[in-house]
């Protein structure tokens, strides 16, 4: 493009696409720091922590369960060894009294079961159990070997042997059992149970601690992730509603919103019968403003007009932009005469409050403009449609334009035939 050449104007479709993109960017990132990425990372981290803690909790539960099962089996095995020792002593006593081979075989069988039970306990490969069998102060392996060797030696005697030697071996066996092995085994069982109980208690504390961390993470996630997310979704929803019901240029309600509120007012009128009025407003010769001063100044005039409406009318009056330079006003619970007076005060305010703007020489200027109004007032408690009101108000607005602009024309819809429009005398503005 040659230097100094005029910039081509965008097509209306392109302008609308740019506006939609602008709306989208505003919805995606209301705040300047765009926290979506950080929220996503925080959510993923929280999910990873919860998943890891859940797996850890499952492992702790599995460990605790298996440990409790193993503890029960080992405790039962050690108690069985204690019982086998007592049974072995009883078998030895019976063998001494009878000298029969049967009692000797019973003693040998008890010794074999005792050895098998020790092998079974060691197969668990439990550090506490191995320490009790191998290390001080219990030395269960040494004590058991002494007991088994003494019992086997005793079982090797026969009733034909010398009684003194037979009795000495039996006394030695009983003394070894009562003063060493049995006592050490009882102490070992008690100590092992205490150790396992402490380990299980630690596992339970770890479970509680893990559950507490999970609950804390969930709470923090709710506070710092889901709550901001809900607030942002709520903000986005409100922003969408605002965009759907608000005129972008003036900030007033758009046609859709005004139609909704007007229908609601008509429904209330059908219940209560309280009068109201619908007013169509149009800026006089607005096309010439755009043609003479440009659309930028025209937009300033529309914004200025909307601001005057907001400041001049009552707080509960409904005001909105229908499109272009056409606006609508809904005056609820208002008698026709009062509606005309309100609109005429506003008309005078518009005529006496020019719009400030900056001209091409960057000088501050004031642009005077006027507005015409068509009023359809309702007083009768009878069915009435919004379309009918708008048509009658539009007819009055057209008549106001024909009468010279900068005036208000009203028609009253009642049970009696519609009254003649209130028009100003030639050359005068109605008050």
The model's pLDDT over 324-333, given as tens digits with 9 standing for 90+, comes to: 899 999 999 8
Confidence of residue 191 (pLDDT cuts 50, 70, 90): confident
Contact criterion met (CB below 8 Å) for 245 and 254: yes
Q: Of 317, 310, 311, which Cα lies nearest the Cα of 262?
A: 317
User: In whole angstroms, what is the distance from residue 350 CA to residue 338 CA?
Assistant: 18
Is 406 inside any structural domain? Answer: yes
pLDDT > 70: what percent of the chain? 81
Could you report the per-residue pLDDT of 76-94, keeping only the tens digit for each?
A: 888 888 888 888 888 888 8
Q: Which residues pair with 326 in a beta bridge?
A: 282, 323
Give the pLDDT mean for 379-398: 86
Q: Are residues 288 and 201 in the same domain?
A: no
**What pLDDT, on a 0 to 100 scale, did the predictor assign at position 428?**
40
User: In whole angstroms, what is the distance from residue 388 CA to residue 407 CA?
Assistant: 22
Confidence of residue 304 (pLDDT cuts 50, 70, 90): very high
Q: Are residues 177 and 128 in the same domain?
A: yes
Q: Are residues 314 and 203 in the same domain?
A: no
Is 421 inside any structural domain? Answer: no
Confidence of residue 73 (pLDDT cuts 50, 70, 90): confident
**What pLDDT, on a 0 to 100 scale, did the predictor assign at position 26?**
46
| Residue 6 burial by Cβ neighbours in a 10 Å radius (0-12, 13-18, 19+) | exposed
Among 46-50, 266-270, 332-336, 340-344, the minimum mean pLDDT is found in: 46-50
Residue 57 has pLDDT above 70, yes or no: yes
Contact criterion met (CB below 8 Å) for 334 and 342: yes
**What pLDDT, on a 0 to 100 scale, did the predictor assign at position 342?**
95
Among 286-290, 314-318, 415-419, the minimum mean pLDDT is found in: 415-419
Count of other CB atoms within 10 angstroms of residue 214 = 18
Q: Are residues 259 and 183 in the same domain?
A: no
Give the pLDDT mean for 31-40: 60
Look up residue 121 and give its two tokens: 């306990």
Is 228 inside any structural domain? Answer: no
| Residue 150 burial by Cβ neighbours in a 10 Å radius (0-12, 13-18, 19+) | buried
Residue 429 has pLDDT above 70, yes or no: no
The torsion angles phi and psi of 192, rounded to 5 degrees, stand at -65, -40
Give the pLDDT mean for 179-188: 74
Give the pLDDT mean for 36-46: 72
Phi-psi group of 324: left, alpha or beta (phi > 0 → left; psi -120 to 50 → alpha; rest → beta): left
**What pLDDT, on a 0 to 100 scale, did the predictor assign at position 100?**
80
Residue 74 has pLDDT above 90, yes or no: no
Question: Residues 121, 134, 126, 189: is their CA dihedral positive or negative?
Answer: positive
Q: Are residues 184 and 113 in the same domain?
A: yes
Instruction: Provide the 3-class DSSP secondary structure of residue 281.
Output: strand
**What pLDDT, on a 0 to 100 scale, did the predictor assign at position 79?**
85
Q: Are residues 188 and 299 in the same domain?
A: no
**What pLDDT, on a 0 to 100 scale, did the predictor assign at position 423?**
43
Query: Exposure pattern of 63-91 as b/e (b: 16+ CB <10 Å)?
Result: ebeeeeeebeebeebbebbbebbebbbeb
Is 324 inside any structural domain? Answer: yes
Domain finish residue from 157, 189, 215: 215
Q: Which residue has the higher pLDDT, 187 or 5?
A: 187
User: In whole angstroms, what is the distance from residue 138 CA to residue 135 CA?
Assistant: 7
Range of the domain at 328: 255-413
Q: Are residues 299 and 374 in the same domain?
A: yes
User: In whole angstroms, what is the distance from residue 197 CA to residue 201 CA?
Assistant: 6
Q: Are residues 149 and 287 in the same domain?
A: no
Contact criterion met (CB below 8 Å) for 357 and 293: yes
Q: Are residues 72 and 182 in the same domain?
A: yes
Please report, for the domain that includes residue 340, its CATH number.
Answer: 3.30.70.270
Q: Are residues 62 and 199 in the same domain?
A: yes
User: In whole angstroms, what is the distance from residue 218 CA to residue 26 CA?
Assistant: 30
Is 16 inside any structural domain? Answer: no
Give the pLDDT mean for 293-318: 92
Q: Which residue has the higher pLDDT, 163 or 190?
A: 190
Is 62 inside any structural domain? Answer: yes
**What pLDDT, on a 0 to 100 scale, did the predictor assign at position 39?**
66
DSSP assignment, residue 253?
A: B
Is 27 inside any structural domain? Answer: no
Instruction: Provide the 3-class DSSP secondary structure of residue 209.
Output: helix
What separation, in Å, do the N-terminal and C-terminal C-alpha atoms of the chain show? 58
Q: Are residues 210 and 125 in the same domain?
A: yes
Could you report the per-residue pLDDT of 345-381, keeping only the tens digit for each?
A: 999 999 999 999 998 888 999 999 999 999 999 987 6
Could you report the per-residue pLDDT of 4-13, keeping only the tens digit for each?
A: 444 455 544 4
Confidence of residue 33 (pLDDT cuts 50, 70, 90): low
Place of tokens 């619970």: 333
Q: Are residues 269 and 395 in the same domain?
A: yes
**What pLDDT, on a 0 to 100 scale, did the predictor assign at position 45?**
81
Is 222 inside any structural domain? Answer: no
Residue 257 has pLDDT above 80, yes or no: yes
> Mean pLDDT, the chain, as a whole number?
79
User: In whole angstroms, what is the distance from residue 94 CA to residue 73 CA?
Assistant: 31
Counting the structural domains of the chain, the total is 2
Q: Which residues pair with 374 in a beta bridge?
A: 280, 409
Please report, for the domain that includes residue 92, its CATH number.
Answer: 1.20.120.1730
Give the pLDDT mean for 389-416: 89
Give the pLDDT mean for 101-121: 87
**What pLDDT, on a 0 to 100 scale, did the predictor assign at position 102?**
85
């Amino acid at each position: 493009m040659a230097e100094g050449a005029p910039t081509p104007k965008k097509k209306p479709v392109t302008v609308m696409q740019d506006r939609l993109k602008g709306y989208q960017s505003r919805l995606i990132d209301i705040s300047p720091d765009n926290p979506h990425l950080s929220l996503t990372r925080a959510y993923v981290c929280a999910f990873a922590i919860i998943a890891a803690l859940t797996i850890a909790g499952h492992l702790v539960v599995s460990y605790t369960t298996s440990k409790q099962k193993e503890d029960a089996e080992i405790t039962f095995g050690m108690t069985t060894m204690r019982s086998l020792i007592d049974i072995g002593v009883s078998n030895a006593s019976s063998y001494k009294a009878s000298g029969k081979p049967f009692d000797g075989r019973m003693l040998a069988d008890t010794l074999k079961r005792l050895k098998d039970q020790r092998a079974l306990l060691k197969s668990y490969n439990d550090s506490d159990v191995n320490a009790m069998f191998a290390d001080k102060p219990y030395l269960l392996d040494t004590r058991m070997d002494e007991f088994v060797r003494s019992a086997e030696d005793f079982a090797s005697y026969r009733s034909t042997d010398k009684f003194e030697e037979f009795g000495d071996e039996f006394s030695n066996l009983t003394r070894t059992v009562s003063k060493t092995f049995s006592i050490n085994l009882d102490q070992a069982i008690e100590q092992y149970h205490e150790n396992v109980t402490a380990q299980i208690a630690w596992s339970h504390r770890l479970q509680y601690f893990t559950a507490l961390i999970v609950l804390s993470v969930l709470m923090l996630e709710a506070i710092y992730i889901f709550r901001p997310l809900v607030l942002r979704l709520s903000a986005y929803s409100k922003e969408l509603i605002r965009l759907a019901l608000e005129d972008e240029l003036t900030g007033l309600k758009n046609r859709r919103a005004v139609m909704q509120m007007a229908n609601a007012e008509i429904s209330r009128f059908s219940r209560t019968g309280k009068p109201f009025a619908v007013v169509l407003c149009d800026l006089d010769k607005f096309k010439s403003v755009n043609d003479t001063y440009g659309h930028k100044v025209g937009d300033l005039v529309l914004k200025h007009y909307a601001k005057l409406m907001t400041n001049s009318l009552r707080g509960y009056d409904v005001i909105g932009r229908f499109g272009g330079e056409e606006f609508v006003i809904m005056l609820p619970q208002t008698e026709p005469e009062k509606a005309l007076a309100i609109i005429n005060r506003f008309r005078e305010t518009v005529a006496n409050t020019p719009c400030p703007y900056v001209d091409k020489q960057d000088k501050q200027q004031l642009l005077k403009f006027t507005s015409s109004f068509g009023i359809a007032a309702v007083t009768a408690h009878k069915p009435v449609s919004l379309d009918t009101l708008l048509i009658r108000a539009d007819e009055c607005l057209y008549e106001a334009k024909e009468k010279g602009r900068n005036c208000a024309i009203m028609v009253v819809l009642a049970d009696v035939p519609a009254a003649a429009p209130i028009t100003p005398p030639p050359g005068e503005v109605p008050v």
